[in-house]
A = this chain, B = another copy of it.
């Protein structure tokens, strides 16, 4: 089996989708000729031509709005917004139009579009090129939000996102792009909304998604050496998120930590914690701990960013604070 990079897994997924379904078109800035800023769409123009791999001017709101029109017109547009920070310019098209259309028109039509974007730090891209804003979109009825952690998930969840009749935000973590691994052939379909048990355990549940899953795994590894058995759940989809899986794990471990790279306050972890503080209250043997970025913009300097991004050490600290 050949090693593949995370970015290539996404490329392959786009490629296979384009090959099997002629209604799929890609739009974005520098995605065609240049193959994408992170080379995720490399080679697709040559294979599928300029009618399907469409370079766009720097006009994010229009790109997102066009995707709505294309979706209504029978296409399945997959747009790329280069950095999640630039999603700020697409909010009307995505939140007021795409997300609400099916409901607001009484079930008429649907908007099968995917917005691919990337978030996260790790390359010192600074305050306007590193934000993790997925909690915004998870708050909007009508949108789905996917954040894959593994190559297989990047491939398979993107297939599901493309086939979904609803607008789906597909968030890649830029730090994962160069990650190498083996992409499984003939993956079975992976439905949105189902978590993955990344590591089974019995003493504490660590819920995570995206790149932070690897810090959670590292934490679990270290805890194991102390005799603490941590279960790591990879949510994969944050809207809808797999409440059942989290609850089931909590019912087994009775301790809960939620970790993500986004700012802790008002982040995705807040919803999971809140929900478990309601339906899982009787299962809890200690406080629910969250690990997220501190309440500050993503700083540029290496010395700052490295301390800013949540670490395995901070997850371990949080696990201890659950009184395990």
Residue of B nearest to A273 (CB): B274
Each complex incorporates copies of this chain amounting to 2
Residues of chain B lying within 8 A (CB to CB) of residue A140: 263
Contact yes or no, A297 B103, CB < 8 A: yes
Q: Size of chain A's interface in residues, with CB distance under 8 A?
A: 54
Decide if A91 is an interface residue (CB 8 Å cutoff): yes
Decide if A223 is an interface residue (CB 8 Å cutoff): no
Contact yes or no, B269 A104, CB < 8 A: no
Residues of chain B lying within 8 A (CB to CB) of residue A67: none
Query: How many angstroms from the CA of A99 to the CA of B290 in the assembled complex?
Result: 24
Contact yes or no, B278 A281, CB < 8 A: no
Decide if A279 is an interface residue (CB 8 Å cutoff): yes
Decide if A30 is an interface residue (CB 8 Å cutoff): no
Contact yes or no, A135 B266, CB < 8 A: yes
List residues of A (81-109) whose CB comes within 8 Å of B's CBs.
85-86, 88-89, 91-92, 95-96, 99-100, 103-104
CB within 8 Å for A266 and B270 given contacts A92-B88, A127-B104, A141-B296: yes
Residues of chain B lying within 8 A (CB to CB) of residue A265: 138-139, 271
A sample of 15 more A-B contacts (CB under 8 A), given A86-B92, A103-B127, A281-B287, is A88-B96, A89-B91, A91-B91, A100-B127, A104-B127, A139-B266, A239-B266, A266-B271, A269-B274, A270-B274, A271-B274, A274-B277, A277-B288, A278-B290, A279-B287
